[in-house]
Chains A and B, each alone.
Chain A
Amino acid sequence: MTRSDPPRHDHPDEEVSPESPSFWSFVPIGEYQVPGLPATSAIADAWASFKRLLRKVDQSSLQPARDEAKLRALPEVQLEHLAPPIDPTEPADALDAALYDWLESDHPDWPVRFVVNQPHAHPELLHLWAVRHGAAVIEPPSIEQILDGDLDWLEQWPVDGGSHRFWVLPRLAHCYLRHTDGLKLVRTLLARAEAGELGRGVIGCDSWAWAYLMHLWPVPHPGALTAQAFDGQRLTRLLTHQIQRRPHRRVRFRNASTGHDILSVPSDDTEVHPEIVRLASHTRGNPGTALTYWRRSLRTEPHEEVVEAASEPISGEVFDEEDIWVSARLDEPMLPNEADEDVALVLHALLLHDGLPAALLPTLLPLTHDGCLAILLRLKRARLVTERDERWVVTATGYSSVRSMLAGRDYLTDGF
């Protein structure tokens, strides 16, 4: 196994398509490059932000355009074919490549490697990686264990005499609370892990929790890795790769307003469409949120056959074409400018902890239980938060808006 030839443990005989999986790469977090915009798009975006500032709530922008009103969202079955959720196998291959030297070394420089991920980017990656390497998966402590600073939780680590087994802690963000009693456990964990007392392992951490924990534990981590940002080119390749291809069929993603092709699969065209560049920039290179936007923007004609069989071959081996319309409007829930401070506090707490149970919010914030619940329900109605595994989290489509609001008010944000 070489660095340029990452392993594919799950499908060793699978043919590797030209697009996969090189668009995934893990780099030190300092090398993350937020995708930019061409100057004209940047000016257009700045103008749109300014207009939002002048309006109370830009309700009109949430309404579908007349020509798009006739289109309907894609059924789930079709979405699963055209834009399924990210398969963690590919980022796991890239992570293997990035960790190759560390995995192979008997005496690595660091006993622990950190993998920092943005919200919604690749949530299942480390679980898969742990299975692939036979590593023990460490479940996060309970809320009570965190608040009690219960160090017994650290006893479950697979440190057995001299023979250390790999371990993976996928969610460091769930191992602390921003509370005076909620920091002891994570500090002890980091101190012992980085001193090598817990053996060799990989710790996954949400980028927001990472930003906060670096204030609690200000130790340089040059070896911390993150998935490189998905710029327009990478995102095009990801979206192309996601499509489950069928022989002799071309799928065309077309702008619902202009009719221009945004993406065509298969295609010999290597040019990246500006709308995909814009999407990559808007989502700051986060593939998870970009894919969610993409899925939400796909439309199809109502009451018509989606697949139009061509009477004769269109070109080469393509016989059929399938038109998928891409909504020209980004279906994004927006926070009104008047969102009060309590809303900001709740959203910030949710992001710093990678989601929180509602019952815990009054413990962490100077707000009442009813006040927190009312805010959560308001935000849920606005599609900015949702409940997942008994924790309230910021939605993928609301993430950009929430991040932008918190950054504008000088709250701590992640480094991406």
Chain B
Amino acid sequence: MNENLASASTKIFREIDLVVIVEIAAIIITAVVLIIAMQRALNWLGQRLYGQRRLTLLALVPLLRLLIGVSAVILIVPLVIEPSLQNMVAVLGTVGIALGFALKDYASSLIAGVVAIGEKPYRNGDWVQIGDHYGEVIHVGMRTVELVTADDDRIAIPHNRLWNDAIVNSNDGKPRLLCVADFYLHPEHDADRVRSMLKDVALTSPYLHLDSPVTVIINERPWGTHYRLKAYPVDSGQQFRFVTDLTVRGKALLTRQGVRFAATAVIPDAGAAA
């Protein structure tokens, strides 16, 4: 019985001697060095580019890493396993069961990481909201995606959030994203005039991307009028400065023109309906 098992095992696995170990180590080291070098080079170059070129370049990082990783596995497997269909099915099935029980979440994140490269719910340089976290994607790793928030916090989120959570991507691989500046005004004013003034606030912001549309959305509320000034900055990284600039200059203009701001705290919609 033991002899049969031993002979089956020798059929699946090749004899591993020192040469094979060295070869495997060399492949792994080469792959790791290549991945590190590629990531550093593309990130460094990405910092020197702007707009679409930067995002396209950064989006290549996880794809190239996956290719290097898969290539390494393809090179290593025949060194360890006798390459036949039965052997592959047997080994991969065993590994799959082991991972499924022991490292379920880890494997789930790894697989989700591969899916993320294909489906592109986020890429390097995108601004995304995952759960309560909003920030710029700076690294799409094997297991996690890393964000940097507006407060400069670095957050690592496992890819397996893909399966159940909504991923809100604000720019989806494009260099620009829509920004909104809110203004809450006393209800007694000329809305048409205020709308024109707010459009001018956007048109005169040095951050504005002038070829993108500028819109003003107005909602009448029980406490006053809610204006939403929507526009695109030149670069998505300017979004907070852009909104701040719109707010500062919008408030200054409205104050100069004698428009009063809403003095009542915002009443939630549900409360307003009641």
Contact = CB atoms under 8 A, between A and B. Distances in A.
A212 B206 CA distance: 11
Which of under 10, 10 to 19, 20 to 34, or 35 or more describes the interface residues of A?
A: 20 to 34
A180 B48 contact: no
Interface stretch (B29-37, B245-253, B266-274): B245-253
A180 B211 contact: no
B241 A409 contact: no
Please indicate which of the listed interface residues A345, A410, A412 has the most CB atoms of chain B within 10 Å of its own CB.
A410
Interface in A244-292: none
Contacts of A66: none
Given A53-B48, A215-B203, A216-B203, A366 B248 contact: yes
A180 B245 CA distance: 12
B210 interface: yes
13 contacts: A53-B45, A178-B204, A180-B204, A180-B253, A182-B204, A349-B206, A364-B204, A365-B206, A366-B241, A366-B244, A410-B209, A411-B234, A412-B211
Contacts of A349: 206
Contact of A348 (B50, B206, B241): B206
Interface in A402-416: 408-412
Of all A-B residue pairs in the complex, the 6 with the closest CB atoms, nearest first, are A409-B50, A180-B253, A412-B210, A410-B51, A345-B206, A178-B204
Given A180-B197, A180-B253, A410-B175, A215 B206 contact: no
Interface string A359-372: 00000111000000
Nearest to A348: B206
B220 interface: no
Given A180-B249, A410-B50, A410-B51, A364 B206 contact: yes
Nearest to A187: B200
B82 interface: no
Please indicate which of the listed interface residues A179, A180, A182, A411 has the most CB atoms of chain B within 10 Å of its own CB.
A180
Given A183-B204, A412-B209, 15 more contacts: A178-B203, A178-B204, A180-B201, A180-B252, A183-B203, A215-B203, A216-B203, A345-B206, A364-B204, A366-B206, A366-B248, A408-B49, A409-B234, A410-B51, A412-B211
Nearest to B51: A410
A33 interface: no
Contacts of A155: none
A349 B238 CA distance: 17
A294 to B, nearest CB: 31
Contacts of B172: none
Contacts of B204: 178-180, 182-183, 364
Contacts of B245: 366
A61 interface: no
Nearest to A367: B206
Please indicate which of the listed interface residues B200, B209, B249 has the most CB atoms of chain A within 10 Å of its own CB.
B200
Interface of A: 53, 178-183, 212, 215-216, 337-338, 341, 345, 348-349, 364-366, 408-412
Nearest to A352: B206
Contacts, number: 55
Nearest to B44: A54
Interface string B228-258: 0000001100100100110011001100000
B192 to A, nearest CB: 16
Interface in B65-96: none
Given A178-B204, A345-B206, A410 B234 contact: yes
Contacts of B248: 366
Contacts of A53: 45, 48-49
Contacts of B203: 178, 183, 215-216
A405 to B, nearest CB: 9
A181 B253 CA distance: 8
Nearest to A178: B204
A181 B197 CA distance: 10
B197 A178 contact: no
Contacts of A364: 204, 206
B210 A212 contact: yes
A349 B204 CA distance: 11
Contact of B48 (A182, A216, A337, A348): A337
A375 to B, nearest CB: 13
A104 B15 CA distance: 98
Nearest to B252: A180
A345 B242 CA distance: 12
B210 A408 contact: no
B255 to A, nearest CB: 12
Contacts of A180: 197, 200-201, 204, 249, 252-253
Contacts of A212: 210
Nearest to A183: B200
Contacts of B206: 178, 345, 348-349, 364-366
A214 to B, nearest CB: 9
A303 B231 CA distance: 62
A178 B253 CA distance: 14
A409 B235 contact: yes
A411 B48 CA distance: 16
Contact of A215 (B50, B210, B235, B241): B210
A86 B105 CA distance: 73
B161 to A, nearest CB: 31
A108 to B, nearest CB: 31
Interface string B172-207: 000110000000000000000000010011011010
Given A366-B248, A412-B210, A341 B238 contact: yes
Contacts of A182: 204
A178 B51 CA distance: 24
Contacts of B49: 53, 408
Contacts of A341: 238
Interface string B33-62: 000000000000100111100000000000
Contact of A408 (B51, B244, B252): B51
